[in-house]
Chain A
Amino acid sequence: MKIGFDVAQTCVTRTGCGWYADALIRAMAAAAPENEYYLYHRFGRWKSTDPCQGTLLHQPGVHMPYWSPENTPPAAHPKKKGATNADLPGSPDIVQSNSFQAPAVGSARLVVVVYDVSFWVYPEFTTEANRQACQRGVCEALDRADGFLFISQSSMEEFERILPGWLERNHRLAAAIPLASRISAEPKEEPGAYWLAVGSLEPRKNYGTLLSAMELYWKRSSRRIPLHLAGGKGWCNQDLLARIAALKKTGMVRLLNYVADEALPELYASAMGLIFPSWYEGFGLPVLEAMQCGCPVISSGRTSLSEVGGDAVMTIGPESPASICEAMLRMESDAAFRRCLVAAAKQRAERFSWEATAKATLDFYRKILTQPPASLKR
Chain B
Amino acid sequence: MKEARALIETKAALAVAVDLTPLRPDGSHGGLKPALFRLLSEAMEQAGRTLVFLFLANAATRDEVRRLARPQDLLICVEPDGPPPEAPLEFWLPDPPSDFLRWIGADLLYAPLGACSFACEGVPTVALIADLLHRDYPLSLTQAQIAERDSSIMQTLFCASMIQCASRAGVERLMAHYQVPEEKLFYTYLPMRECREADSAATDFIQDQGPYFFYPADLWKHKNHETLLLAYRLYREQAGEAAWDLVLAFHEENRAAELRTLARALGIEPHLHCPGSAPEVWRAFGRHAGALVFPSLHEDFGFPLLEAMRDGVPILTGPDLFLKEIAGDAAYPLDPRKPESIASALLKISGDPALRASLRSRSRQRLGFFDEKTEARKLLEAWNALSGCPQNAKALEGGAL
Contact = CB atoms under 8 A, between A and B. Distances in A.
Interface in A153-176: 161-166, 169-170
Contacts of A121: 338, 340
A143 interface: yes
A129 B139 CA distance: 7
Do most interface residues of chain A lie in helix, strand or loop, or is the interface mixed?
helix
A141 to B, nearest CB: 9
Contact of B230 (A129, A163, A378): A163
Given A129-B139, A139-B226, A170-B267, A162 B339 contact: yes
Of A120, A129, A378, which is in contact with the most chain B CB atoms at under 10 Å from its CB?
Answer: A120
B47 interface: no
Given A129-B139, A143-B262, A164-B237, A136 B226 contact: yes
A86 to B, nearest CB: 24
Given A164-B234, A166-B266, A132 B139 contact: yes
Contacts of A363: none
Nearest to A126: B337
Contacts of A136: 226
Interface in B211-267: 221, 226-227, 230, 233-234, 237, 261-262, 264-267
A120 B340 contact: yes
B325 to A, nearest CB: 21
B226 A378 contact: no
Contacts of A165: 237
Contact of B340 (A131, A132, A162, A378): A162
B143 to A, nearest CB: 13
B265 A378 contact: yes
Task: Bin the interface of chain B by size.
Answer: 20 to 34
A124 B335 CA distance: 10
Interface in A103-152: 120-121, 123-124, 128-129, 131-132, 135-136, 139, 142-143
A132 B139 CA distance: 9
A169 B335 CA distance: 28
A331 B176 CA distance: 48
A135 B234 contact: no
Given A128-B139, A162-B234, A163-B234, A139 B340 contact: no
Nearest to B340: A162
A140 to B, nearest CB: 9
A124 B338 CA distance: 10
Given A120-B339, A120-B340, A136-B226, A143 B234 contact: no
A136 B337 CA distance: 13
Contacts of B267: 166, 169-170
A121 B265 CA distance: 21
Nearest to B259: A139
Given A142-B266, A143-B264, A120 B233 contact: no
Contacts of A135: 226-227, 230
Contacts of A123: 335, 337-338
Interface in A44-61: none
Given A121-B340, A142-B266, A132 B221 contact: yes
A323 B328 CA distance: 39
Interface of A: 120-121, 123-124, 128-129, 131-132, 135-136, 139, 142-143, 161-166, 169-170, 378
Given A143-B264, A166-B233, 6 more contacts: A120-B339, A123-B338, A124-B337, A139-B226, A143-B265, A163-B230
Across the A-B interface, the 9 shortest Cβ-Cβ residue pairs: A123-B337, A142-B265, A143-B265, A164-B237, A139-B262, A143-B261, A120-B339, A162-B339, A139-B226
30 contacts: A120-B337, A120-B339, A120-B340, A121-B338, A121-B340, A123-B337, A123-B338, A128-B137, A128-B139, A128-B297, A132-B221, A135-B226, A139-B265, A142-B265, A142-B266, A143-B261, A143-B262, A143-B264, A143-B265, A161-B340, A162-B234, A163-B230, A163-B233, A163-B234, A164-B234, A164-B237, A165-B237, A166-B233, A166-B266, A170-B267
